[in-house]
Structure 1
Amino acid sequence: MSNNPDETPDHGYDRPSKSQVKRDMLALQDLGRQLVDLSSEKLKQLPLSEKMLDAIKLAQKTTSREGRRRQIHYVGKLMRDADADAIRTQLDIWENGSKQQTLAMHRIESLRDLLLRDDDALTGLLKEYPGADIQHLRTLIREGRKEAQANERLQAGQDPQRKHYRALFQALKALDDTQETE
């Protein structure tokens, strides 16, 4: 054993092991399989080459089990040249939603519930969103409260009304969206 600090303990290998290469290839093949299961609308949003899109569409059309397996294997092979990290990130966002979007939705839901409970909350909202349509918001809040009271009197098994409850959420979401774009 030499005392040279430049030598690595992996006996001079500077490439990944054969097992690691195989694991990476299988991961790309699994990613390709996920892409084959996507709709064409979502596929258009991903950074895929024309060759890759054609291979995925062919795999989607193939009905024979063995033919589909081979085509998916080919898609996995083409994945070597694709930006797999960007694709994985987008798939994760579609599957789980982005954390920022989730937090924004929870914040809007809390704000809606506060507006339906507390009259003073509208004043705070108008300070945060000075360009908001106050009449429209007041109408939605008033109708949402009526809806909530009517839902409390429902018999078991009856479906609650949520029209104004949802409309208030959409109005708050639109306010939030307009503020983000400015």
Structure 2
Amino acid sequence: MSRKPKKGYFVRGQFVAEGSELDLQLKAESKGAEGTSRTDQKRESEALQALGEALLELRADRLERLALPDKLAEALAELRRITDFEGRRRQLQFVGKLMRRLEDETVAQIRQALDEQRAGPAHEVALLHEAEQWRTALLDDEAALGRWLERFPATDAQQLRALVRQARKDRAPEKPGQAPRHGRAYREIFQLLRTQLNQHEDEDEQPHGDDA
């Protein structure tokens, strides 16, 4: 049974298979002849290799949505398993080689997915900080409750009022000079505020009316 001939071309009498190291090298040199310097090529290659390594940071659901080529997905899985320094270095080079074969659109999607995931922790910190600010305002300012309920009408107003009253009682020091105490109500206010802030953001992200 005859083998299926490999796709490729001849250069100076030598057969070059498509996708081979020599093929990639010749294409890179061709780009260089068109105006891309070797330094630029090296910088781009290193950037794509680093981007490939960064894919290990992605959560499984985000990685799955990218629909990467099977060969790259398998290479990343192998890279994750390797602990030996030299073996990991060689595998990372292989990942970089596969990354250079990706379409520009796929590379852009990878960068976007990484940026979105990295922005998550910073966004969560901002949300927690906002909840803390509202809790302080509710305990120190009588008018803060009305402002909160106006902005978040879905809040259980009776529950929040009861928690605020209890938290104010709990924090009153038993003796002059003692630091304020924070009991269970203080913590429950924070959880309630955080939940409402999260739900409010989720609703804002949902399409409404003609946008649906």
The residue aligned with 1:140 is: 163
Aligned-pair CA distance for 1:58: 0.6
CA–CA distance in structure 1, aligned partners of residues 82 and 127 of structure 2: 41
Contact residue 141 and residue 168 of structure 1 kept, 8 A = yes
Aligned to 1:175: 196
Which shifted more, 42-51 or 16-25? Answer: 42-51
Displacement of 1:24 in angstroms is 0.9
Q: d(CA) in 1 for partners of 2:82 and 2:196?
A: 46
Partner of 2:98: 78
Using the alignment, how far apart are the partners of 1:148 and 1:96 within structure 2? 35
Counterpart residue number, 2:53: 33
Q: Name the residue aligned to 1:125.
A: 148
Q: What RMSD over aligned residues (CA atoms) do the two structures have, in Å?
A: 3.2
Match of 1:53 in 2: 73
What's the % identity of the aligned pairs?
34
How far has the Cα of 1:14 moved from its partner?
A: 4.8
Partner SS, residue 139 of structure 1: helix
Bigger Rg over Cα: 2
Letter in 2 for 1:88: R
Per-residue CA distance 1:66-112 (angstroms, 9 max, x = gap): 22111111122222316333333333444453766555444333222
Are the aligned partners of 1:35 and 1:43 in contact in 2 as well (CA < 8 Å)? Answer: no
Runs of 4+ in 1 over 6 A off after TM superposition: none
Counterparts of 1:166 and 1:77 in 2: how far apart (Å)? 51
TM-score where L is the length of structure 2: 0.61
Query: SS state of the match for residue 131, structure 1?
Result: coil
**Aligned pair in 2 of structure 1 residues 147, 31: CA closer, same or farther (>3 Å)?**
farther
Take 1:89 and 1:120, find their aligned partners in 2: how far apart are those partners? 42
| Contact 2:167–2:182, Cα closer than 8 Å, also in 1 | no
Aligned to 1:44: 61
Aligned in 2, Cα 1:96/1:130: closer, same or farther, shift over 3 Å?
closer
| Shift in CA distance, 44/130, structure 1 to aligned 2, threshold 3 Å | closer
Asked if 2 retains the 8 angstrom alpha-carbon contact of 1:112 and 1:169, the reply is: yes
Distance 1:87 1:175, change over 3 A: same
> What SS does structure 2 have at the residue aligned with 1:119?
coil
One-letter amino acid of the counterpart of residue 125, structure 1: W
- 1:118 Cα shift? 1.2
Per the alignment, residue 63 of structure 1 pairs with 83
